[in-house]
Structure 1
Amino acid sequence: MPQRLRTTLYYAALWLVSLIFFAPVAWIILSSFKTRNDILATPPKLIFSPTFENYVDLFTRSTFMLQLINSVFLSLAAVILAVFVSFLAAFCFSRFKPKGTDFLMFLLLSIRMLPGPAVIMPVYLMYVAFGWKDNHIGLIFFYAMFSIPFSVWILKGFLDGVSTRFDETGRVNGGSWFHVIFKVVLPQVKPGLIAAFIFNLIFVWNEFLFNFIIGGVSTQNIPYALAVGAYADGGLNWTFIATLTSIYIVPPVLFIYFFQKYLLVGMTFGTVRGEV
């Protein structure tokens, strides 16, 4: 088979697979511009008169903007806090190697192995006792706690790939540890920071269970809105679901598109990097 034909078939197969995986997303976006009758039509309508009424109805809901702002605020605040703490912890594990580092790293990762429903009751009782229920700060700390273990694993892999000679050179030339950590080492692990940020952002952005249980009226996010607003008039409110979902997937899609090269590196936990 000629090389040119083989290359053409290869890219055609890639496009086919991509279109198959994108088809459900495209159908949801198209449905957001349909009326309820068009969505429920049999056979499904591919040609229809688009309407923006669904988006107008969504944005005029009294709770939608609060839920959207909560999703953005909780996600960004929790993940930024988690990545900052994780970077310092990973630097400690990578450079100072405290006794029992491997066991401590295992304990950190084991936190993420626990299923959410297994810990929801003690977390709920703790939040009620501390008065943190329906509290933005409480949810931010909780999401950060769940995001830190995975971030530490990613960032430690990247930091292990940065030579300690940079640290030694900085210290010999009179630099403080603050200067070495944030001015010398941090810029070299920027791909790891971005990868950890996006992975955890996706987790917090999609989290529903804990927001539903330990959150409240003032901390409702978009997954909460999808769960409680999915039914209307005795059935599924497909126009609401399609419209809200179309808006909901935009931020993570944009993040992944612009930083996709860092995600690929982050999936290897930095292990493919040699010492620099």
Structure 2
Amino acid sequence: MSRLRDTVYYGLLWLVSLFFAAPIGWIVLSSFKTRDDILAVPPKLVFVPTLQNYVDLFGRQSLLLQMANSVFLSLAAVVLAVVVSFLAAFCFSRFKPRGTDFLMFLLLSIRMLPGPAVILPVYLMYAGFGWKDNHLWLALFYAMFSIPFSVWILKGFLDGVSIRFDETGIVNGGSWFHVIFKVVLPQVKPGLIAAFIFNLIFVWNEFLFNFIIGGVSTQNIPYALAVGTYSDGGLNWTFISALTTIYVIPPILFIYVFQKYLLVGMTFGTVRGEV
């Protein structure tokens, strides 16, 4: 009876997983179809696969630049955000400056604002200072948006690491640099990875600010999807399916490789108590 219950349980989990993965699977399948096969009614499940969609995709001169921009902006912004967030979270967790709760609320309130609500002042600032279409300033903007969420995650982890580790390191002659990066940092690795992946997905998928305050040299893949959607008077389904297939591979690989840390990061960081 117990074995039957387990079989039914895992069978339902597989059905739910396949249901949610079906749209991604259909996009991947469509990337190997011709335009006529994609638009066929009823839909074709048996067809002759083709790689012409990928040949046409990589034949676009701007595609490699847009892919490189997505990779650079995502990694640069998220790495900077995680480093700054870890140091800020350590300060809030260990030194508890006056007004810590209010400061944490202010940080979180930055993420409460929808992007379209702040795009006009951001555009005017970037245009006024000549920061438009610049990789560095765009990466710093993404880092600014990624820091509040990272601080909240990492502070929860740091609150769970006993302050006795800090005291032991200081008493034995270690510097604060040693305590922070050699003693405490390894213990919050799941939180760092969780913050890294969550923010990486945000920056990787970001379109609005890249479109408004970016430019020709900073176009990313969402920008390419937006401007290449229509072709020859209709939706360019072959382009959409091929680029989307390539676009979803990096986040899926990151999540698959670090899934153990990601699951811990989504749960442990919310539990208070020393370890």
TM class, shorter-length = over 0.9
Report the counterpart of residue 24 of structure 2 in structure 1: 25
Report the counterpart of residue 266 of structure 1 in structure 2: 265
Residue pair 1:93, 1:101 contacting (<8 A) in 2 also? yes
Gaps of 5+ in 1: none
CA distance in structure 2 between the aligned counterparts of 1:80 and 1:57, rounded to whole angstroms: 33
Shift in Å, 1:155: 0.2
**TM-score computed with the length of structure 2 as normaliser:** 0.99
Report the counterpart of residue 97 of structure 2 in structure 1: 98
Matched, 1:244 2:240: no
Q: Give the aligned CA root-mean-square deviation in angstroms.
A: 0.8
Secondary structure in 2 matching 1:226: helix
Secondary structure in 1 matching 2:269: coil
CA-to-aligned-CA distance 1:2-35 (integer Å, 9 cap, x gap): 1111111001101111111111111000000000
Residue pair 1:226, 1:241 contacting (<8 A) in 2 also? yes
Matched, 1:217 2:179: no
Report the counterpart of residue 136 of structure 2 in structure 1: 137
CA-to-aligned-CA distance 1:68-119 (integer Å, 9 cap, x gap): 0000000000000000000000000000000000000000000000000000
Secondary structure in 2 matching 1:157: helix
CA distance in structure 2 between the aligned counterparts of 1:122 and 1:226, rounded to whole angstroms: 26
Residue pair 2:111, 2:148 contacting (<8 A) in 1 also? yes
**TM-score computed with the length of structure 1 as normaliser:** 0.98
Residue pair 2:156, 2:271 contacting (<8 A) in 1 also? no
Corresponding pairs, count: 275
Report the counterpart of residue 152 of structure 1 in structure 2: 151
Report the counterpart of residue 75 of structure 2 in structure 1: 76
Listed as ranges, the matches of 1:38-187 within 5 Å are 38-187=37-186
CA-to-aligned-CA distance 1:154-209 (integer Å, 9 cap, x gap): 00000000000010011111111001000000000000000000000000000000
CA distance in structure 1 between the aligned counterparts of 2:212 and 2:260, rounded to whole angstroms: 36
Shift in Å, 1:260: 1.3
Matched, 1:3 2:25: no
CA distance in structure 2 between the aligned counterparts of 1:19 and 1:163, rounded to whole angstroms: 42
Shift in Å, 1:265: 2.1
Residue pair 2:210, 2:220 contacting (<8 A) in 1 also? yes
Secondary structure in 2 matching 1:244: helix
CA distance in structure 1 between the aligned counterparts of 2:32 and 2:238, rounded to whole angstroms: 8
Residue pair 1:36, 1:239 contacting (<8 A) in 2 also? yes
Shift in Å, 1:266: 2.1
CA distance in structure 1 between the aligned counterparts of 2:272 and 2:128, rounded to whole angstroms: 46
Residue pair 2:93, 2:159 contacting (<8 A) in 1 also? yes
Residue pair 1:166, 1:184 contacting (<8 A) in 2 also? yes
Residue pair 1:154, 1:269 contacting (<8 A) in 2 also? no
CA-to-aligned-CA distance 1:215-266 (integer Å, 9 cap, x gap): 0000000000000000000000000000000000000000111111222222
CA distance in structure 2 between the aligned counterparts of 1:271 and 1:133, rounded to whole angstroms: 38
Matched, 1:195 2:194: yes
CA-to-aligned-CA distance 1:29-78 (integer Å, 9 cap, x gap): 00000000100111110000000000011111000000000000000000
Matched AA of 2:52: E
Gaps of 5+ in 2: none
